[in-house]
Amino acid sequence: MKIFTGIQIKELDQYTIEHEPVASIDLMERAARAITRAICERWTNRTPFIVFAGPGNNGGDALAVARLLAEEGYRVEAFLFNVSGSLSDDCSKNRQRLVESKRLKGFTEVTIDFDPPQLTAETVVVDGLFGSGLNKPLAGGFASLVKYINQSAAKVVSIDVPSGLMTEDNTHNVSANIVRADLTLTLQQKKLSMLFADMQPYIGCLRVLDIRLSSDYINRTEATFQMLEEVDVRARMLSRSDFVHKGLMGHALMVAGSYGMAGAAILATRACLRSGVGKVTVCTPRRNCDILQTSVPEAVLQPGHEEMFFADPVDTEAYDAMGIGPGLGQREETAIALISQIRRTQCPMVLDADALNILSSHRAWMQQLPQNLVMTPHAGELDRLINHAGDSDYNRLMKTRELSAHLQAYILLKGHHSALCLPSGKVWFNSTGNAGMATAGSGDVLTGIITALLARGYTPENACIVGMYLHGLAGDLAEKTLGRESIVAGDLIAHLPKAFLYLNS
């Protein structure tokens, strides 16, 4: 699913109007009917509704919804804010339709003074003040109205986007002046800002309503941001010939673990083995050997020279891919060995966890990184790499794109919607996974999966796309059997076979 900018969304509407063809007022009616159906599914007609409509097309949607709800027997009171004396054409037409319907409990057109209605816990507010075209923070009377809504006990349904929220960058927005919706009914496709964790308090529960906007425009228009779908992953899956042997299925090297962190090495190695690779060798400190030999007997063990930490780089000529970093530690000896290992490794690499933490504290080494690396940071690791102050998730993503282009690396920023930044500037957001995966070791599992796929012969882009989707799908399968609260990283590995079976079916 492509994620369009606010400008492209406007173009999509206009293209649909011109090429379907359909009158803009009829397209608005189509959207309003979809919104009304979604509302009626959630609330009975015993629920009182108050509709706040702005002067633009989002307000036109809201007025049409008010009329349609009233026709369904709901008690609706509508307020149209026309403080500038200028309504969009379709908003004006829906105002007239609403007046003519005569089924509303009340209709007020606000031009100067506004006497706000009482918003009780039993009330549902329909927020149709401003839509996806907003490009600056709300101020003045509209900001005061948003604060009044947010301070009330009423449930809030926002049409397309919560009023005050911008579709992409909210770094400099005023948080107090954004509607905090309980339900957002967005039209046709998600907006970029809806994928960020820091925007979730405004969005609430999100539903995407298909209003049949032009598929021709959607298919032919390039988008920088895209939501990964099952069909995208299936198209990238490699098949396994009946006559292969382990030597043809790739040999992966995992450089992981320090004393006390053998678990990270075990999880990454087990995930790697479960992801189709022919053979896995683990390089880990000697103190970890017994537990690894016992926990992962299928792996080949290559003990380091040191007892408790990684300090000696490995010859990688025999390997098809390497994953390095889980549980590695950040001793200076390990840091020196890390950069030496990166310099001498010719096969595809995945850098995770302490490998990234070491690079963030030895920033000059970033210039020595080869192209086509895969890096899998969580937000904290990424912030240390890019000196991000944490002002917004949008800003973090933009800086990650810049780093990806600068290093010509594939950077997978982990989160609810993990974002894969490609060297080209394109971003893939993952659509699988759940909050139960927020558990120690989950990232080590992802490292093992992607390393295995690289060793199998996937390109870095496809290894990341297939890997993050499989990782999240295994989490979703685990959630179905275990629930969110009880998932541990090992459960993701246990459900990888079912994830592969599903995608290969």
Mean pLDDT for the stretch of residues 110-133: 95
pLDDT attached to residue 89: 97
Q: What is the mean pLDDT of residues 83-95?
A: 96
Tell me how far apart the alpha carbons of residues 271 and 298 are, in angstroms, rounded to a whole number. 12
Which residues on adjacent β-strands are paired with residue 110? 81
DSSP 8-state class, residue 125: E
What's the average model confidence in pLDDT over 178-184? 98
DSSP reduced 3-state for 206: strand
Indicate where the chain has its CATH 3.40.50.10260 domain(s): 2-223
How far does Cα 395 stand from its chain's mean position? 14
C-beta separation of 273 from 299 below 8 A: yes
> Average of pLDDT values for 454-478?
98
Angle at 185 between CA 29 and CA 171, to 5 degrees: 120
Model confidence at 387: pLDDT above 90: no
The dihedral over CA atoms of 482, 486, 490, 493, expressed in degrees to the nearest 10, equals 30
Q: According to CATH, what is the number of the domain 2-223?
A: 3.40.50.10260
Give ranges for CATH 3.40.1190.20 in the chain: 230-504
User: Among candidates 335, 324, 341, 414, which has minimal Cα distance to 376?
Assistant: 414
Q: Identity (one letter) of the amino acid at 306?
A: E
pLDDT digits (tens, 9 = 90+) for 182-201: 999 999 999 999 999 999 99
CATH 3.40.50.300 fits 230-504, yes or no: no
CA distance 103 to 81: 20
Task: Specify the pLDDT at position 390.
Answer: 75
pLDDT exceeds cutoff 80 at 389: no
In b/e form, how buried is each residue of 87-118, taking b as 16+ CB within 10 angstroms?
A: bbebbbbbbebbeeeebbeebeebeeeeeebe
Per DSSP, the residues of 28-42 read HHHHHHHHHHHHHHH
DSSP structural state of residue 366: G
pLDDT, tens digit, 9 for 90 and up, residues 331-350: 999 999 999 999 999 999 99
The span from the CA of 461 to the CA of 372, in Å, is: 9
CA count, 13 A, side-chain hemisphere, 479: 15
| Mean pLDDT computed over every residue of the chain | 97
What is the per-residue pLDDT across 359-369, written as a single tens digit (0 to 9) for each? 999 999 999 99
